[in-house]
Structure 1
Amino acid sequence: MKKSALTILSLILMMSMFLAACGGGNNGGNNNTGATNTPSATPSESTEPSKAPDPVDLRVFSTFGGTDAAREAFQKALDDFTAANPHVKIENDVMSANDDGFRTKVNTDMTSGNEPDLLFYFVGADANEIISSGKVVALDEELAADPEWKNGFAPAALEFTKHTDGKTYAIPLTGFFEGLMVNKKIFADNGIELPTDWEKFKAAVSALKAKGIIPLSGPFDQSHYLIEHFVLAAAGAEGQKKGLKDGVDPNWEKGLAAMKEVYDLGAFPEDAATIDLGMAANYYSEGLAAMILEGSWAIGGFSDDVKANTTVLPFPAIPGGAGTGKDVVGGFGTGFYMSKAAYDDAAKKDATIALLKHLTSPEVIKNIATANGGTPAAAGVQPEGLAQAVLDGFAMVSEATSVNSPIDSKVTPETFNTIRANIQPVVTGKKTPAEALAEAKEIETAAK
């Protein structure tokens, strides 16, 4: 399969993780300069003492809270900024991205005059409303005005977060990969082959179920990662990329049908209909499940034993579809947005931009990436002390035939929610994949 330019950019970025010299150590932060005091013209003249900056209150809304692996690193970045800028007070407003209320809160805040000064949020379809409504500003001019800051980013990272209009609204921090996380010890102890192709995957599901081990931990309601991987494994990169724009690709139906096939083999937890993503991750972290489809951010939350025994594999291609078996989900799916309200506020603008530059400086990016195992958006930055599972994930991406943003960045939130709501009916046989996707297509069409 011929790799796309985006894939090549992503691979270059991953190669830099292993091979780049420390050339990205430039401080991409502020270039704030104060006026210098020049000698008086006459002994009788005196310079006036510089006036302390007026106090500024800023609000940052992000997902770096609760059990997020980078919570402490992000808080430290905010504390470092306020220590250097004591006139700035920051409200660190956080909410888990796995909470279904996260998107609702963002959209409500952004449309009710309660927008945060800096918003850490998704790129792609999720951002359409806040961008089209003019609630956030394009930052291309700010990047162009500060070449040191702009050149501190990996080009692929900035390219990935560009909006469909070609403008940069979101400044990336770290990227991610998603994949099939496998507890190698459980497989070895039970004499089961690793699931490197579809037949081995099905055989593993059957064997694990027979031994009382949850084969694949995943919820039906918050089925984000199940949908992404089963569809990509069947539709391939081009089919997944189209979303539902040109109708329903038959290979999407194959993906959902394959989900039902492994459900019938006993793949999922018995309470998959009621658990959420957090509980699904707990099953894997506690060694009760042998596999999970998750993102790089989840690895830091696994127990030490499970983390040490985890590897990351691409989800196997589904027979009869267009997947290669090396198509992966990843890239840079989030970034910092600056609200137009802050940009237009003379009292806040400079402090907000300074904070944005600080939070996306190479040093902070390195600290966040080290904490959450993400791909640094900064050029030449290599996180330290990463678990082998994270390195396995990086290797998976470097060998991928395509690197794809998630499905929920290609369809409207309402469309994706419709697909999610239909996963349980599909796997239990109450709806066919065709019926479920037809409903989603209707929602997508109505939203256009």
Structure 2
Amino acid sequence: MKRALHLLLALTMTAALAACSSGNNGGGTGSGNNTASSSPTASETTGEATKATPKKVELKVFMSFPRFKDQFENYFAQFKEKELAEKNIDVSIQLEMPNADQAKQILQSRLSSGDAPDLYTLHANDIPTYFDAGYVADLTGQPFVGKLYEAVTETVKYDGKVAALPLESLSWGYLYNKKIFADNGLTPPQTLDEMKAAAEKLQSAGVKPFLLAFQESWIPQLMMALSLGGTVSSAHPDWIEKMNAGEASYADVRSVFDSIDLIMANGTDKPFETGNEAGSAEFASGGAAMWVQGPWNAETILKVNPSMEFGVAPLPVSNNPEDTMINLATSTSLALSPKSANKEVALDLLNYILDDKDSSALFEELKFNPIATVHTYEVFPWVNEASEYVSKGKAYLDLKLPNGVTDETAKLLQSYYAKDVTQDDIIASLDKVWRTSVSSN
């Protein structure tokens, strides 16, 4: 009788534990089809309940910055432990991190063929195109949204909806070596003539003014991003609107080549043999005074030279110092595919990116700017330097260009350096790509 009673009590406790486990979804993402099985078994020998077999879920995550592979693999390992402990879900993550030059093309091919990753990175400027194509899920009600700074939230909104989780919120311009500048009595130039004079002084001192790393086309494209952004925002504020209406041309902003030509004429040798990794090492070692590259490369640079002091300054686009402004942007953001087969777990991972407890350490390690109220780490000197321009009103929002224009610019600037195309060729090609993109929407 006592044995029967003990067995009955053991089974009752097992059932109660199973009921509690199946009802605790945590995280506000809903239970859906991804909750663990609620049918544990009882041990016949000890009478103690054993835990239910974890539900196995695989997530496919596509990210466009392979330089941060180790950091994200470590962070995802933390998520997997958390998901197993809290929801009894055994998550495996298939992380794909192609080269930045190839990432966009690979992603578009995957999305159009129906082989969409569960989560993927994209530039915030591309959100409208991807959202209209049905590739981006609405994330408006997710827990991470309430943690974002308001200004950052606006950069990932489309049609009133939050369409992605921002990762890199940036104030950026070109990078400069503070020691080389100090040794040569230089401060960041505020006009084109000042930049020309600085380049001449550096050349006379045997220092290469600009690092050129053209092996990967996305890097020289940054020259156009800054020169066009400063030119349009200061002198042609309605240019994008007119371009979309077919009433303008890149010929109207031909002056963007003034700063591009200056950089190319005062750069390091053999740029097509230098990619991002080699360029970061060369810059960190004092191979050039300036590099048109963003502070997102800080981790790569400081890995080579942890004691290096570099600054961030706006690129001059004219001889009016008021036109010299810093670029404000959310570049990389993380989106959810509406076709994800494991949407609940994917949302858990997405929200974990801004976890109250763990995300500060991740963002600090990546050397990204704080983007949310839960980020409590101390910002870096170059962030403060760029922010000073913002506080003085010397900043502009990153331009939103039609799909395909940036990629075409990247290829053309490589050819421009090699003298295979002229300014007129670039203007004609970019005008055509712009018109094609607008007409196809």
Question: What TM-score, normalized by structure 2, do the two folds share?
Answer: 0.77
Matches within 5 A, 1:3-82: 30-31=27-28, 51-52=52-53, 54-65=55-66, 67-68=67-68, 71-82=69-80
1:324-374 C-alpha deviation (Å, 9 max, x unpaired):
3442223222222111122xx4xx232222221112334444223212222
- How far apart are residue 400 of structure 1 and its match? 4.0
Letter in 2 for 1:152: K
SS of match in other structure, 1:121: strand
- How far apart are residue 253 of structure 1 and its match? 0.7
For 1:444, which of 434, 437, 440 is the aligned residue? 434
Between 210-219 and 270-279, report the one with greater CA deviation.
Answer: 270-279
Q: Residues of 2 paired with 1:307 and 1:228: CA distance?
A: 29
- How far apart are residue 109 of structure 1 and its match? 1.4
1:90-113 C-alpha deviation (Å, 9 max, x unpaired):
3242325x6311111111111222
Q: Residues of 1 paired with 2:386 and 2:55: CA distance?
A: 46
1:379-428 C-alpha deviation (Å, 9 max, x unpaired):
262323x44233323334333433322x5x41322x22332333255456
- How far apart are residue 300 of structure 1 and its match? 2.0
Partner residue of 1:278?
A: 277
Assess if the C-alpha contact under 8 Å between 1:160 and 1:331 holds in 2.
yes
CA pair 282-251 structure 1, distance change in 2 beyond 3 A: farther
Assess if the C-alpha contact under 8 Å between 2:61 and 2:118 holds in 1.
yes
Letter in 1 for 2:401: K
Partner residue of 1:91?
A: 93
Letter in 1 for 2:382: A
Partner residue of 1:106?
A: 107
CA pair 89-433 structure 1, distance change in 2 beyond 3 A: same
1:132-174 C-alpha deviation (Å, 9 max, x unpaired):
332331122x33xx5xx432111111111112x3322212234
Q: Residues of 2 paired with 1:273 and 1:334: CA distance?
A: 25
Assess if the C-alpha contact under 8 Å between 2:207 and 2:289 holds in 1.
yes
Find out whether 1:371 has 2:370 as its counterpart. Answer: no
Letter in 1 for 2:402: V
- How far apart are residue 298 of structure 1 and its match? 0.9
CA pair 203-175 structure 1, distance change in 2 beyond 3 A: same
CA RMSD of aligned residues (A): 3.3
Unmatched segments (≥5 aa) in structure 2: 1-25, 36-48
SS of match in other structure, 2:328: strand
Partner residue of 1:389?
A: 382
CA pair 88-114 structure 1, distance change in 2 beyond 3 A: farther
SS of match in other structure, 1:316: coil
Q: Residues of 2 paired with 1:433 and 1:230: CA distance?
A: 14
SS of match in other structure, 2:436: helix
Partner residue of 1:159?
A: 154
Q: Residues of 2 paired with 1:57 and 1:210: CA distance?
A: 58
Larger radius of gyration: 2
Unmatched segments (≥5 aa) in structure 1: 1-28, 36-47
Q: Residues of 2 paired with 1:296 and 1:231: CA distance?
A: 19
- How far apart are residue 182 of structure 1 and its match? 1.3
Matches within 5 A, 1:340-359: 340-342=338-340, 345=341, 348-359=342-353
Assess if the C-alpha contact under 8 Å between 1:218 and 1:277 holds in 2.
no
Q: Residues of 2 paired with 1:301 and 1:436: CA distance?
A: 32
Partner residue of 1:22?
A: none
Partner residue of 2:145?
A: 150
Partner residue of 1:410?
A: 401
Partner residue of 2:410?
A: 420
Letter in 1 for 2:226: H
Between 395-404 and 438-447, report the one with greater CA deviation.
Answer: 395-404
SS of match in other structure, 1:90: strand
Q: Residues of 1 paired with 2:252 and 2:319: CA distance?
A: 10
Partner residue of 1:234?
A: 231
Q: Residues of 1 paired with 2:330 and 2:27: CA distance?
A: 23
SS of match in other structure, 2:193: helix
Partner residue of 2:13?
A: none
- How far apart are residue 306 of structure 1 and its match? 7.2
Assess if the C-alpha contact under 8 Å between 1:253 and 1:434 holds in 2.
no
Q: Residues of 1 paired with 2:238 and 2:367: CA distance?
A: 26
Find out whether 1:210 has 2:200 as its counterpart. Answer: no
Assess if the C-alpha contact under 8 Å between 1:170 and 1:334 holds in 2.
no
Partner residue of 1:313?
A: 313
